[in-house]
């Protein structure tokens, strides 16, 4: 049985969303954030204290995008992946990793220095700097979507989950003011998927256990 350690709306949401898209059964453990402080026993499970932590038999992963790749490759075939012999393969790999490395990392820094730290630890200048970096990078997503419903291969794939999570976090961080009308439509397209709703519902139920 797959087990996913999670915190509400953290990067582990990407993994829950993909598991729901694939229709796989899994156990979800939703912990208060940040787990390494709120659940010190969690460090016995994942010494770096982050979520996601994903367990499937002897396989253990802590990187949300690696987990997306694991899920589609281990449990496919599925249209959620793009194969090396498809024309959009390189483009797909780029967006898959862009979602975390290029979009979510500046968001996480902004979150830390604008919202999470106690007030005396906040660094408004650093947060603003990363807000500008993020809004600039968002324009690349907008450009890639010109004339398209999804980022790659004319279909929904895990690249959309990777980037879609950054759009979801943008709303929490009040960065959705940078969404163009077409980016807003893309976000609405992604977030109206039944699997997106199912993952949201699972995390809500799991947090109450
Ligand atoms: N690159 C990793 C980042 C994992 C990560 O930093 N997760 C955050 C939550 S979104 C976390 O656990 N932060 C808690 C902490 O650093 O203590 C991924 O994509 O999964």
Which residues contact ligand 1 via a Cβ below 6 A? Answer: 10-11, 34, 36, 49-52, 63-65, 100
Query: Taking residues 177-181, what's their average pLDDT?
Result: 98
Residue with the two structure tokens 């709120």:
38
Report the nearest-CA residue for atom 2 of ligand 1. 63
Is pLDDT above 80 for 117?
no
CB 38 within 8 A of CB 49: no
Is pLDDT above 90 for 29?
yes
Closest atom of ligand 1 to CA, residue 7: 9
Phi first, then psi: what are they for 204, rounded to 5°? -70, -50
Report the nearest-CA residue for atom 13 of ligand 1. 50
Q: How confident is residue 49, by pLDDT bands cut at 50, 70 and 90?
A: very high
For the whole prediction, is pTM greater than 0.85?
yes
Please choose from 50, 103, 113 the residue to mutate so as to test ligand 1's pocket, defined by most ligand atoms within 8 A of CB.
50
- Distance in angstroms (rounded) separating the CA atoms of residues 92 and 90: 5
Is pLDDT above 90 for 120?
no
Beta-sheet pairing, 53-56 with 26-31: unpaired
Q: What is the reported pLDDT for 73?
A: 98
Start-to-end Cα distance in the chain = 19
- Distance in angstroms (rounded) separating the CA atoms of residues 158 and 150: 10
Would you state the torsion angle of the CA atoms of residues 79, 81, 83, 88, taken in this order, to the nearest 10 degrees?
A: 100
Q: Within a 10 A sphere around the Cβ of 94, how many other Cβ atoms?
A: 16
């Amino acid at each position: 049985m797959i087990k996913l350690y999670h915190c509400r709306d953290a990067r582990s949401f990407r993994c829950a969303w993909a598991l729901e898209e694939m229709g796989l059964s899994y156990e979800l453990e939703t912990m208060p954030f940040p787990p390494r402080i709120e659940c010190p026993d969690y460090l016995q499970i994942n010494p770096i204290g982050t979520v996601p932590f994903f367990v499937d038999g002897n396989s253990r992963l802590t990187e949300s995008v690696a987990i997306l790749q694991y899920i589609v490759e281990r449990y496919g075939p599925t249209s959620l992946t793009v194969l090396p012999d498809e024309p959009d393969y390189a483009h797909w790999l780029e967006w898959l990793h862009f979602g975390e490395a290029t979009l979510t990392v500046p968001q996480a820094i902004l979150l830390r220095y604008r919202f999470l730290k106690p007030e005396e630890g906040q660094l408004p200048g650093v947060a603003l700097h990363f807000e500008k970096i993020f809004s600039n990078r968002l324009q690349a997503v907008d450009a890639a979507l010109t004339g398209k419903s999804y980022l790659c291969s004319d279909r929904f794939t895990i690249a959309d989950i990777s980037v879609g999570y950054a759009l979801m976090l943008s709303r929490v961080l009040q960065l959705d003011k940078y969404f163009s009308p077409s980016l807003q439509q893309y976000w609405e397209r992604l977030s109206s998927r039944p699997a997106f709703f199912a993952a949201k519902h699972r995390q809500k139920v799991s947090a109450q256990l």
